[in-house]
Amino acid sequence: MSRDDLTKIILPEEKIPKFWYNVQADMPTPLSPGLHPGTKQPLGPADLAPLFAMGLIAQEVSTERYIEIPPEVRELYKKWRPSPLFRAHGLEKALDTPCRIYYKYEGVSPVGSHKLNSALPQAYYNKVEGIKRLTTETGAGQWGTALSLACKLFDLECMVYMVRVSYDQKPYRRMIMNVYGAQCVPSPSNLTESGRSELAKNPDTPGTLAIAISEAVEDAVQREDTHYSLGSVLNHVCLHQTIIGQEVKLQMEMVDDYPDIVIGCCGGGSNFAGIAFPFIPDKIAGRNIRLIAVEPAACPTLTRGTFAYDFGDVAGFTPLLKMYTLGHDFTPAGIHAGGLRYHGDSPLVSQLYDDGLFEATSVMQKGVFEAAMLFAQTEGIVPAPESAHAIRTAIDEALKGKEEGIVKSIVFNLSGHGQLDLNAYDNFMAGGLEDITPSDEEIQAGLKGLPVL
């Protein structure tokens, strides 16, 4: 069948990549080292050992181009991988665009998002190193759900601190984590010193990922049998997600196509990294390809932030990382894309962006939900609000192609479905959503909180 006849492009199970792709091997500018939050000296593996498994720390600093996926993890990937690459025939027709639109659908994972790609190896490395319990934070709830299942599959306990605004907006998220045997509490909570201190300052806070991270880290360092787990930002998380883009390359080859534009939404960065990093070597080699990171206008880290050392959390427990940031005190508005409400960004994504290897754009939430509705009504799948940021930009590019009479091949990462985000859609349909952009003063206030080195 030709590429125009096919709806889904499916790789056989044995074609699941055996290696993750490590972009650190190909970066024009090497990564700046993480700094110890106290001494502000470059971090060594020993500094990270109280929080992370050694297998993950090794990945964090490796510059090997390919890192083997443990067979135990690859076996579990088979539950949904290789994930399908869809040709968006319905959406193309509705837009009347000459462009070819493809989407990589990660929502077929049992938890409904790409997050399981990293949750499984994180649980695995901790399990083999004798850890009994993992703590984490979650924004939209996708990451918490994925880690809950991964912990259950590797027989670990799981404790999730969920940003309060998402906890309240999405009651089903807590329930599904419970089904997988995890405990989930709204953050800030009364269970940690950092949670109590936030609640004392602002009892009605919607919470942020940065606060929830402080809680999860504080919990983890207090127990010998417990490690901490992060769903984005860090190098090893981006690494695990590269399985997405590697599959996309194989799938595009199957239909004799290659993308002109690759799009991913960007919060902490692992979603975008997952689909885009495997194309970086081609980009460096001079191939004509655009990689676009899409962030919410309400939390415009790449488009309005600065490239500087900052903490990953509010309390200053995490290492200092050089990244695009709005300042760790910046509290994004309670938009319906909880997974993108993060002040910082992956150091890998940040460095590559600073080197001009990809573009960034920001979009308003009403336009995002308009795009999501059109997608649901033409392609059938109700997208997660986070993933819908990528849809918005894919549609904009396809319409631009139509206007200019240029046929482009556009691929985006449909990182998850939105069946547990229907409150947000209901809100949108009832006219209850607002377009929110921080003022220049708010941006400046956030940046004033950057640590002085």
| 321 vs 382, beta carbon nearer a copy of itself | 382
Minimum CB separation of residue 79 from a copy of itself in Å reads 6
Does position 18 interact with a copy of itself (CB under 8 A)? The reply is: no
| 217 vs 420, beta carbon nearer a copy of itself | 420
Minimum CB separation of residue 82 from a copy of itself in Å reads 10
- Applying CB under 8 A, among 49, 406, 407, 429 the residue interacting with a copy of itself is 429
| 238 vs 420, beta carbon nearer a copy of itself | 420
| 221 vs 376, beta carbon nearer a copy of itself | 376
Does position 254 interact with a copy of itself (CB under 8 A)? The reply is: no
- Applying CB under 8 A, among 175, 253, 287, 407 the residue interacting with a copy of itself is 175
Does position 423 interact with a copy of itself (CB under 8 A)? The reply is: yes
Does position 112 interact with a copy of itself (CB under 8 A)? The reply is: yes
| 49 vs 422, beta carbon nearer a copy of itself | 422
Stretch binding a copy of itself (CB under 8 A), from 12-20, 30-38, 60-68, 337-345: 12-20
Does position 93 interact with a copy of itself (CB under 8 A)? The reply is: no
What amino acid occupies position 265?
C
For every residue of the chain, which 3-state class applies, written as one string? CCCCCCCEECCCHHHCCCEEECHHHCCCCCCCCCECCCCCCECCHHHHCCCCCHHHHHHHHCCCCEEECCHHHHHHHCCCCCCCEEECHHHHHHHCCCCEEEEEEHHHCCCCECCHHHHHHHHHHHHHCCCCEEEEEECCCHHHHHHHHHHHHCCCEEEEEEEHHHHHHCHHHHHHHHHCCCEEEEECCCCCHHHHHHHHHCCCCCCCHHHHHHHHHHHHHCCCCEEECCCCCCHHHHHHHHHHHHHHHHHHHHCCCCCCEEEEECCCCHHHHHHHHHHHHHHHCCCCCEEEEEEECCCCHHHHCEEEEEECCCCCCCCEEEEEECCCCCCCCCCCCHHHCCCCCCHHHHHHHHCCCCEEEEECHHHHHHHHHHHHHHHCCCECHHHHHHHHHHHHHHHHHHHHCCCCEEEEEECEECCCCHHHHHHHHCCCCCCCCCCHHHHHHHHHCCCCC
Q: Report d(CA 449, CA 453) in Å as an integer.
A: 12
Minimum CB separation of residue 147 from a copy of itself in Å reads 13
Site for a copy of itself in 121-160 (CB under 8 A): 149, 152-153
Site for a copy of itself in 321-340 (CB under 8 A): none
| 79 vs 223, beta carbon nearer a copy of itself | 79
- Radius of gyration of the CA atoms of the chain, in A: 20
Stretch binding a copy of itself (CB under 8 A), from 170-178, 239-247, 248-256, 327-335: 170-178
Minimum CB separation of residue 271 from a copy of itself in Å reads 20
Nearest alpha carbon to residue 452 among 308, 323, 294: 308
Does position 253 interact with a copy of itself (CB under 8 A)? The reply is: no
Stretch binding a copy of itself (CB under 8 A), from 9-17, 218-226, 291-299, 444-452: 9-17
| 152 vs 366, beta carbon nearer a copy of itself | 152
Does position 1 interact with a copy of itself (CB under 8 A)? The reply is: yes
Does position 422 interact with a copy of itself (CB under 8 A)? The reply is: yes
Site pattern 364..403 for a copy of itself (x: CB under 8 A): ---------x--xxxxxxx---------------------
Contacts with 140 (C-beta within 8 Å, 6 or more apart), sequence order: 166, 170, 173, 337, 338, 339, 384, 385, 386, 421
Site residue total, a copy of itself (CB under 8 A): 43
Stretch binding a copy of itself (CB under 8 A), from 8-16, 227-235, 324-332, 345-353: 8-16
Q: Would you state the structure tokens that stand for residue 273, as one six-digit string?
A: 């990294």
Stretch binding a copy of itself (CB under 8 A), from 103-111, 228-236, 295-303, 305-313: 103-111
- Applying CB under 8 A, among 33, 50, 90, 367 the residue interacting with a copy of itself is 90
Measured between alpha carbons, how far is residue 194 from residues 125, 303, 317, 344, 429 in Å? 28, 30, 10, 19, 37
Residues that bind a copy of itself (CB under 8 A): 1, 6-8, 10, 12-14, 75, 78-79, 86, 90, 108-112, 149, 152-153, 172, 175-176, 178-181, 373, 376-382, 419-420, 422-423, 425-426, 429
